[in-house]
Amino acid sequence: MAENDPHAAAHLHRHLHSHLPPDPALRVKALESLVVERGLVAPETLDAWVEVYAEHIGPKRGAQVIARAWTDPGFRARLLDNATDAIAEFDFVGNATGHLKAVENTDTQHNLVVCTLCSCYPFSILGMSPGWYKSAEYRARAVREPRKVLGEFGVSLAPEVSVRVWDSTAELRYLVVPQRPEGTEGWDEARLASIVTRNAMIGTDRDLRTEPA
């Protein structure tokens, strides 16, 4: 197995941005072909990764992290100070969490994550990125008109709530820590984790439901 060199991976990531086609699906195929051709990974290994992250892990790991932050002030402080080290306490170790920053929603600020170059995303704690996150439209409009984009996701913000857009890269990815909903006092971590959505951890969801739809 080839050694994992994060600096080489970051260099390759930047280099590929100027050579890959604009369509996300074509970009994925080009990357897949490249890593297979160079012997960095076997095709069956790629298939296994996709199945694990899409079907078995999904955003459940991230939801556990958020639930812990809601119930443990010490962990919340560590998460906001150094998300990579804090998440390592769960043994959720992977390249996608190796350079991670947690940003917290408040009564006066909402955070939205985008990757304007491609679709960099902390997949090891959020699962596979949704199709819209990889689309050119979202990547462009989230920066230009974030409030309008949020409105299309059903997020209506009061004028006094500012929006900060965070641009993920190969070197730094982001995790939004949503606000804990009222009425969840006394809930344990498992129950809290069950209401945390993947979109809330990207920033396209804000007011989490405490009851089934």
Residue from 118, 124, 129, 168 carrying the catalytic annotation:
118
Residue 112's DSSP bridge partners are: 165
Q: Is 115 noted as a catalytic residue in this protein? A: yes
Active site residue 162: no
- How far apart are the C-alpha atoms of 58 and 56, rounded to whole Å? 6
Q: Is 185 exposed, middle or buried (0-12, 13-18, 19+ CB in 10 A)?
A: exposed
Q: Is 168 a catalytic residue?
A: no
Q: Which residues pair with 77 in a beta bridge?
A: none
Strands 162-167 and 109-114, sheet pairing: parallel
Q: SS3 for 42?
A: coil
* 135: CB partners within 8 A, 6+ apart: 24
- Give the span between the Cα atoms of 166 and 143, in whole angstroms: 9
Out of 18, 115, 129, 156, the active site residue is 115
CA 41 to chain centre: 23
Selected catalytic residue, list 120, 124, 129, 168: 120
- Helix and strand counts by DSSP (H, E) for the chain: 12, 4
Angle of CA points 81, 82, 87, to nearest 5°: 125
120 is catalytic: yes
Which residues form the catalytic set? 115, 118-120
